Homo-oligomer: A and B are copies of this chain.
């Protein structure tokens, strides 16, 4: 949990390289989180509702997630209608978890200094004020 990330102010300390662009997008983050909680997969319309997305929107993002091999899409015919089932791939689940861990560190960073800002007389770290 404590890599070199708790060092005071090293260069790149807040670069958050691990924030995978493909995952970090709001809509896709919602999609992946939904899927993470539904290992059996979700059909297109349920996913659409859970994430409050439009058809076109969801379609596009699924395409992107698919190309990145984060999810897999299964087509079939449930009660005489096309049904699209979406699931996380194992690799996708792993990449998502990695991403979430970075997210955790962002939250930790953010909450570490902030809430005590009114009572703690803070000393300036490495900055030379002149």
- Residues of A near any B CB (own CB < 8 A): 9, 11-17, 19, 21, 24, 26, 29-34, 36-40, 42-43, 46, 49-53, 78-79, 93, 96-97, 100, 103-104, 106-107, 109-115, 117, 122, 124-125, 127, 129-130
Tell me how far the C-beta of A130 lies from the nearest C-beta in chain B, rounded to whole angstroms. 6
The contact sample of 22 A-B pairs, CB cut-off 8 A, is A9-B46, A11-B50, A12-B49, A12-B52, A13-B34, A14-B30, A14-B31, A15-B52, A16-B26, A16-B29, A36-B110, A37-B113, A38-B113, A38-B125, A39-B122, A42-B127, A43-B127, A93-B114, A97-B114, A103-B103, A103-B106, A103-B110
